[in-house]
Structure formats: C-alpha cells, structure tokens
Amino acid sequence: MAAEIIRLVDVSKVYGTGDATVHAVDDVSLTVKEGDFLAVMGPSGSGKSTLMHILGCLDVPTSGEYRFAGEDVSRMNERELASIRNRRIGFVFQQFHLLASMSAWRNVELPLLYRAARDRRQTALNALAQVGLTGRVQHRPNQLSGGQQQRVAIARALVTDPTMILADEPTGNLDSKASREVLDILTSLNKSGHTIVLITHDPNVAGVAERVVEMADGRLRDRVAA
Amino acid sequence: MNLLRTFDTGMRGLLGHRLRSILTTLGILFGVAAVICTVGIGTASADSVNSRIAALGTNLLTISPGSTTSFGVRGGSGSANTLTMEDVTGLEDKQDAPDVAAVAPVVSGTATLVSTSTNWSTTVQGTTPGWLTANARSLSGGVFFTQQQVDKHAQVVVLGTTTAQDLGVTVGSQVSISGAPFDVVGILTASGSTGFTNNDDLAVVPITTAQDQVTGGSPDSVQRILLSATSSATIGSAYLEADQLLLETHHITNSASADFNITSASTLASTAASVTTTLTILLASVAAISLLVGGIGVMNIMLVSVTERTQEIGLRKALGATPRDLLRQFLIEAATLSFVGGLLGVGAGLLAGILVPRLANIAVTITPTPVIIAVVVAAGVGLIFGVYPAARAARLAPIAALRAE
C-alpha cells in the first residue's frame, strides 16, 4: 500500500474575529497517497486557495492536524516550514512567478540555492529537458511563450525531486493549446510516479486528475472523476 | 544557504537593476569623494600655513607695548608707547640675555615710494641690522644697511621683492620715500605671505631715518622689538630673559601689570593650526553629511527594491528561503552598493586630488587615514541603512508576498 503524503484531520483556517469571522477552511479532512493525482475544484471564494496555502506549508491551520509525509507541520515555525517547502514541495503558480532578470536555467536552479546541492547547473538542465525545453535554457522569461514559461516553472518544481507537486491554477493564464501541453506534462509526471495536487476552478482541467474533490464555502466533498 | 551563494544571489539582484544600482552608488561615491577631497584640502592648507610660519622663523619673539589705562578705560594692546631704545640696548646685553641671538627695534608707517617709472604705497619699517637675523630673512641681492648707516641717519633702503618689481628698481637705483631720496642697497629674498600679510611688499630703512622721514615721534621710542632666540630649543629661556629684563627696566614688580606683551611665532603657529583644524572639521562635516544623505539614498532604494520585489521575495520563500536568507541577501545588496560606491568614491577623490590643484590652484594633500575611514564608514552606512529594508523583506509573509501585484 502506498505511503500517505498528506493527512489533514479536521483542519480549519479562520480569519478575523467576532462578526467578521471567516471560516476560509472549515473542518476539512483529506488524505493523499504517494502517486496520487488529486484535483481540488471550486469557484473563487470557496477556500481552495487557503487550502492550497496550508497544503503547500505556506500557512499554518488555525486548528486541526496536518501531517505531511509523516511530519506534523501544523505547529512548525517559519524556518522549519521553509525547509519542508524546499525539500518536499514543488510549486507551480498561475502567474508562473519566474524572475525576469534570470535565464530559464537560473530560474530552475533557484530552489537548489536554498539547500546543499551539487551540480546545480546539470540538475537544472535535466529538469528543463524533462519538460522539453533543452533548447531554451539561456532564454529570459520574456523571450518565452506563456506555455514555455509555465514549463520552466514546472521544471523548477521538479528540480528538487519533491514529494509532491502543488499546482495552483497552472493553466489560468494560458490558451487552450498551451494548457493542454502543461496538463500533458503533469499527467506524464504523475505516470512516472510523482504525487500531484492540482487546484483549479475549471472542470475540464480537473478532469485530467484521477480523483477530484470539490470545495464550497470552506468545506470539502468527494466527487468521483468522470 | 551559505554566504558565498547569498553573495552571488545579492549580486544578481543588483545587476538585475543596473541603472538603479548605479544611481544609488553615485550618492555614496560623491559622499566619499567629497570627504577625501575636503580633508585633503584641509591637510594641504594646514601644511602650507605651518611651513609659512616655519619660514617666518619659529625662533622669533615679538615684544609689543602693553595696553594703557587712562581714567579707568583700558586702551587696546599697543596703544601705549612703552618700549624704548634703552630696552633694545638692554636686550642686546649678552650677559643679561644669553639666549637672545639678535634684537631689532621696529617703527613702521606707510609711505609712498616713487621711482623714475612709477609710484607705490607700502609699509616702511625702520629698524637696525639685527632685523635680518631676527626675522630669519636673507637678501637676494645687495647688502643690508650697517649700524654706522643707522647712526648716520643714512638714506638707504632695502626692498621686498614685490615692492622692487612694482617700482621697477634694482640695487643701485634711487627711489624717493615721502619726498626724500633713498639709495636702494639691497633686495630681500622672497618669503611669501603669512595670512593677510605679504612679507615681500615692504621697504626697510634705518630706524633713525624712518623716525626723521616717515613715522616721526621721539627717537627713543620704538613700536615693537623683534628678538630671535639662539635656537628653537632656547626660545623659552629667551622669552623668560626678555620678560625679566623688561620688568626690571620698567620698574614693574608684578608681572600681571606688565606694560608689554611678548608673543612668539609658535603661538601664531598654534593659533593658525587651530583655525585650519576648525576649517577642516567644518568642510569634512559638510562632506560627512553628504555621505549620510548617500546612506539614506541606499535605504530609500532598498525600501523601493523590497516593495517592488515583493513577489520575488514571496517566491523565494515558497521555494525554501528562510527569513535569514532574505535578510542576508538584502543586507549584502545594501552593503555592496555602498562599498562599491565607497571604492569608486576613493577613485573619484584621488582623481579630484590631481585635478583640483591644476584647475583651481588649491593644494590637496591626500593621506591614507581619511581614505580608509571614508570607505569603512561608507560600507557601515550601507549596512546600517540596509538593516531596516532587509528586515522588512525577511518578515514578509510568503502568501501575501506571492499575491502582491
């Protein structure tokens, strides 16, 4: 049986106090196993972004327990969280978040700078090869198409060989052809054993995942993939 | 993340914003260059004042009359006429004043000198042959007048170089002073100026002749007495001997009520030194303020940079940068801006040290100490002013930073 990567038990995130209290994430329990491809779906305001921040160890829950690959991350401090993010999670964002002043391979190398890593350049080049960008390693982000930029971002997520890839609306800024390319890459990464959590509002995008959960008003319900 | 890699990251951050980095560096550059240059000018002017005072003769003592008190009102120093030829004779006594090398009484006034070609108004000093030694002056041509010529009220004159040039005369020429004809017997060697006094614009005549023709007054009374000690080591004892002798001759028992003042060139030197020190401090303070302004410029730019790069900070945090990594990165960026600015400022300061003397005829002496201090202060300023922006970057929450527009 595959190991548990994510175990959320009754996790809540509350903002504000008194009448202004907002339960962005309300009593959510969720388990993700190694090799899973999970999509979290929901309209904007449903709390899926907050859930993604908790899953990505960018934020800690107000209550409940979050175990990531066996480690209790719900009570970790900023420094420990930074280490978890660096070692175990690869992020793919809607806005790509590439640094404009750096070439593609320098962008991919970035997470390796925050850990003890050798052959950083070669590791970065390998990751770029995995997303089919061998010919673009010296290009700046503004010399690349949107789809190519997102592939650089995926390479950056891959380069640390993370336990999980967390993709937040990865196709949100892309046309349908580029979207298809990006989703194909994510699918093939999953096929080769990577655990992937995809956050999206788009049912077509969520459709590539093996398992889809829906979020509404901070609560989660399972839905069987079509 | 180790320091070397943080440094590399910091450099990339700076190179990513070249124009901004260069402009910020300029603020520090000018600050440091200004400090180096102004301190250099101060040092040079202090040196020049000191060497001019040394040229005056640090062995020189000047005795001037004390103040008068009439009806309870004290007149200014020199308002009395208390020095006489008798005092001069007393001071010339080797028994009573063994450390006094030369004595010269002086009376002076202003007169118009007329040569065949032009006329020129200048200071005329009446004195004795001791003047040359007492003032540590020499002649570039001719001879100084003798004691016999003093005794005979001879109408001879020794001119300063400026005066001689302006009158267009040489040794052997004749000039008229206040209408009386004088033979030019000697020309003094140029000695430059002290403060506002040009030491090369004067005419020196026998004291007897000066009293006859220029200053008038009693033949016994002198305005000042110049003394030179046998060496700069004996200046203190020469001072005491002169003081003692004059108190006795003037029948004064309490030295506090002495009717004369003795000043030395070294007093003048220390006064001048303190004036130039004050000026240097003033100039350096202005320059230091410009360095401070440069430092605030670094802080300003770093704050702008942190705000503008909020997304980058958020991303770096998401990718695993700890608050300490970011603190270091931004501190290194700030310190590098000011350190590089400091080094370039040294270059600019040294260049100014070469150019200013050529273009503006102001001497600049650059010594290592202010250069080192300026660079260290510049880097320090960058670090100190970089702390706050760096701490802000380190404290940013990753989600908020990622979401920022």
**Residue B277: both structure tokens together:** 């020190």
Angle at B388 between CA B384 and CA B393, to 5 degrees: 130
Q: How far apart are CA B9 and CA B5, in angstroms?
A: 6
pLDDT per position as a tens digit, B290-343? 888 888 888 888 888 888 888 889 999 999 999 999 999 889 888 888 889 999
**Helix/strand/coil (H, E, C) string of B171-234?**
CCCEEEECCEEEEEEEEECCCCEECCEECCCEEEEEHHHHHHHHHCCCCCECCEEEEEECCCCC
- Say yes or no: A53 contacts chain B, CB-CB below 8 A: yes
Q: Do B320 and A86 touch (CB under 8 A)?
A: yes
ipTM rounded to 2 decimals: 0.92
Q: How many separate helices (H) and strands (E) can be counted in chain B?
A: 13, 14
Q: 3-state secondary structure string, B13-54?
A: HHHCCHHHHHHHHHHHHHHHHHHHHHHHHHHHHHHHHHHHHH
What pLDDT score does B17 carry?
Answer: 79
Tell me what pLDDT residue B366 has.
86
Residue B71 has pLDDT above 70, yes or no: no
**Cβ(B316)–Cβ(B353) under 8 Å?**
no
Q: Residue A209: in which H helix or E strand, if any?
A: none
Q: A13-62 pLDDT, tens per residue?
A: 998 888 888 889 999 999 999 999 999 998 888 888 899 999 999 988 99
For the record, the structure tokens of B328 come out as: 């270091």
Using the Cβ of A94 and the Cβ atoms of chain B, whether some distance falls under 8 Å is answered with no
Confidence of residue B255 (pLDDT cuts 50, 70, 90): confident
Task: Kindly report the number of other CB atoms within 10 A of residue A154's CB atom.
Answer: 27
Q: B154-197, pLDDT tens digit by residue?
A: 899 999 988 888 888 888 888 988 888 999 999 998 876 655 56
Range of the domain at A44: 4-14+22-223
CATH number for the domain spanning A161: value is 3.40.50.300
Query: Are A14 and A68 spatial neighbours (Cβ–Cβ below 8 Å)?
Result: no
Q: Is A23 left (phi over 0), alpha (psi -120 to 50) or beta?
A: beta
Chain B CB contacts of A100 below 8 Å? 16
Average pLDDT, chain B: 83
CB B131 within 8 A of CB B204: yes
Domain ranges within chain B, ordered by starting residue? 3-52+271-403, 83-258
Contact A78 B322 (CB under 8 A): yes
Are residues B319 and A86, on separate chains, in Cβ contact within 8 Å? yes
Residue B79 is predicted with a pLDDT of: 47
CB B306 within 8 A of CB B389: yes
Q: Any idea what DSSP says for residue A17?
A: S
- Banded model confidence at residue A225, pLDDT cuts 50, 70, 90: very low
Binary contact (A58, B318; C-beta < 8 A):
yes
Number of domains forming the structure of chain A: 1
Other CB atoms within 10 Å distance of the CB of residue B4: 8
Are B323 and A79 within 8 A, CB to CB? yes
Mutation site, A99, A105, A152, A164, interface B, largest B CB count within 10 A = A99
Would residue A25 be called left, alpha or beta, if left means φ above 0 and alpha means ψ between -120 and 50 degrees?
Answer: beta
Q: What are the backbone dihedrals phi and psi of residue A152, each rounded to the nearest 5 degrees, phi first?
A: -60, -45
- Check A78 against B399: CB less than 8 A apart: no
Q: State the amino acid at position A84 in one-letter form.
A: I
Under the banding of pLDDT at 50, 70 and 90, the label for residue A153 is very high
Q: What is the pLDDT of residue A86?
A: 93
Continuous H helices in A64-175:
78-88, 104-113, 120-130, 146-158
Q: Find out whether B257 and B120 touch, Cβ atoms under 8 Å.
A: no
Please tell me the predicted confidence (pLDDT) of residue A170. 93
Structure tokens at A211: 């398992």
Note the pTM of the prediction, 2 decimals: 0.68
Contact A48, A28 (CB under 8 A): no
> What are the residues whose beta carbons fall under 8 Å from the beta carbon of B358, sequence distance 6 or more?
none
Question: How many angstroms away from the CA of B326 is the closest CA of chain A?
Answer: 11
Per the prediction, chain A carries an average pLDDT of 90
Chain B partners within 8 Å of A102 (Cβ): 12, 16
